[in-house]
Amino acid sequence: MKKSLFVTIVVLILCLILVGCNFPKQEPQENQVDLLNTAAAQTVQAKQTLIAQPTEVPPTLPPSPTHTLDQSEPTLAPTSPPTTVPTSVPTIAATNTPQAPCDQASFVSETIPDGSEFSPGQSFTKTWTIKNTGSCTWTADYHVVFFSGNAMGALAAKPLTTGTVAPGQTIQISLEMQAPITSGTFRGDFKLRNAGGVLFGLGAKDGPFWVKINVYSLPYDFTKNVCATGVKWTSGAGTLPCPGKFDDNRGWVLVIDKPTLENMAVDDEPGMQVHPDYADKGWIRGTYPEMTLPGSTLFKAIIGCYGNQKCDVKFKLNARIDGGDEQTLATWHEIQDGKFNKVELDLSHLAGKKVQFILLVDANGSPTNDVSLWFGPRIESK
């Protein structure tokens, strides 16, 4: 009995031991602070992962240059972002203005524009206005000199001034010239020369200043050149405008494209209508530039009253030869008779001479109705 009871107790104890081993074990609770730290760390890690791994791969940029720190350089502690400070406008230091060259000039104006027309051998004066744009004063030791092209009778060198031309001042340079005796276009270039013999011209490139003219071949047409450079019309009332105005009391000269001759025929070539000033024995004259006559030449023209005008005038061809006194080469008396007059004058004896021609109309008493016509006056080869 006692033995059975003992056995039973032992069996119960063993069963309890076996059952106890199969019960689930209770996990120990984690510290709340550790749980919060763990969650924060996981959040930071997740954000870093998103930044490090963008959903779209940006374009590949060329690697920026890296600076390898020398091992001896001290490691700098991270600093806070710099505070933005407004930057002031940089001050630009003033630069020195380059000084102008010692000798330099610039063009201001001129007489006798390029392309002006002259008769063979005609004399003329060309004038340039030039400004001293250098830093040195021009003196009497400076010269204007022929540089290239056709000198047209100008001096090879001529003193620029008898005084001084300071920087910024201007000077007029005039040269006496003569057109070539052959027809064509001619140009002559000129420069300045300083006291040391060095040539200089216009602007930074030292360009020349020049004269450029056209020379007529014969015949020389007085009508075509009626108001040309160097031609002067005068009357007893003084210098006249060219062209003038019909019925001007001072007298007038007009170019008529289709003039009416004394026989009432209308021509298709231009003619010069002239009238003396309104005074008893009034007169009108056109003085033309000097020309050198080549070889054997003739003066030709048609003269008469204009249309049916009741003129009573004397036509004259006057001249100054080689600068001498004015003389009359020929005179023709014209009245209204319904006929025009062709005139011709041999000028062969003037070959090679410098001649200044003057076309003259004198009133033979009262100038009333003295409207007259020079038609086709010209100089041509014989």
* CA 123 to chain CA mean position, Å: 29
pLDDT of residue 256: 97
Phi then psi for residue 304, to 5 deg, are 165, 180
**Which of 238-242, 285-289, 350-354 has the least mean pLDDT?**
350-354
pLDDT of residue 150: 96
pLDDT of residue 12: 64
pLDDT-derived band at 183 (thresholds 50, 70, 90) equals confident
Mean pLDDT in residue range 334-358: 94
pLDDT of residue 18: 53
With a pLDDT cut of 90, the percent of the chain lying above it is 63
Mean pLDDT (the chain, rounded): 83
Question: Higher model confidence: residue 264 or residue 92?
Answer: 264
Label residue 126 exposed, middle or buried (CB < 10 Å: 0-12, 13-18, 19+).
Answer: buried
Neighbouring C-alpha atoms within 13 Å toward the C-beta of 117: 14
Does residue 69 register a pLDDT over 60?
Answer: no
pLDDT of residue 97: 58
Phi then psi for residue 26, to 5 deg, are -85, 120
With a pLDDT cut of 70, the percent of the chain lying above it is 74
Does residue 32 register a pLDDT over 60?
Answer: no
Q: Is 185 helix (H, G, I), strand (E, B) or coil?
A: strand
Query: Distance from first CA to last CA of the chain, Å, rounded?
Result: 189
Full set of structural domains in the chain with CATH: 105-217 (2.60.40.10), 221-381 (2.60.120.200)
Please spell the DSSP secondary structure of 115-128, one letter per residue.
TEEE-TT-EEEEEE
What's the sign of the alpha-carbon dihedral 31, 33, 34, 38? positive
- Strand 209-215 versus strand 116-118 pairing type: parallel
Does residue 39 register a pLDDT over 60?
Answer: no
pLDDT-derived band at 147 (thresholds 50, 70, 90) equals very high
pLDDT of residue 98: 65
Phi then psi for residue 330, to 5 deg, are -160, 150
pLDDT digits (tens, 9 = 90+) for 208-236: 999 999 987 778 899 999 998 889 999 99
Question: Which structure tokens are listed for 159?
Answer: 């003193």
Yes or no: say if 305 and 372 are a contact pair by the CB < 8 Å rule. yes
Mean pLDDT in residue range 279-304: 92
Yes or no: say if 193 and 105 are a contact pair by the CB < 8 Å rule. no
Q: Largest alpha-carbon pair distance within the chain?
A: 199
Under DSSP, the state recorded for 143 is: E
Phi then psi for residue 14, to 5 deg, are -65, -40
Does residue 27 register a pLDDT over 60?
Answer: no
Does residue 145 register a pLDDT over 60?
Answer: yes
pLDDT of residue 266: 96
Mean pLDDT in residue range 43-58: 43
pLDDT-derived band at 181 (thresholds 50, 70, 90) equals confident
pLDDT digits (tens, 9 = 90+) for 98-143: 678 999 999 999 999 999 988 777 889 999 999 999 999 999 999 9
pLDDT-derived band at 37 (thresholds 50, 70, 90) equals very low
- The CA–CA distances, whole Å, from 220 to 234, 250, 324, 381 equal 21, 28, 22, 10
Beta bridge partners of 213: 116, 186
Give the residue among 178, 175, 134 at the shortest CA–CA distance from 152. 178
Yes or no: say if 282 and 235 are a contact pair by the CB < 8 Å rule. yes
User: What's the CA gap between 365 and 281, in Å, rounded?
Assistant: 5
Label residue 232 exposed, middle or buried (CB < 10 Å: 0-12, 13-18, 19+).
Answer: middle
pLDDT of residue 329: 98
Question: Which structure tokens are listed for 228?
Answer: 């040309």
pLDDT of residue 23: 47
Yes or no: say if 228 and 211 are a contact pair by the CB < 8 Å rule. no
Question: Higher model confidence: residue 196 or residue 62?
Answer: 196
Place of tokens 């007038």: 252
**Which of 203-217, 230-244, 326-340 has the least mean pLDDT?**
203-217
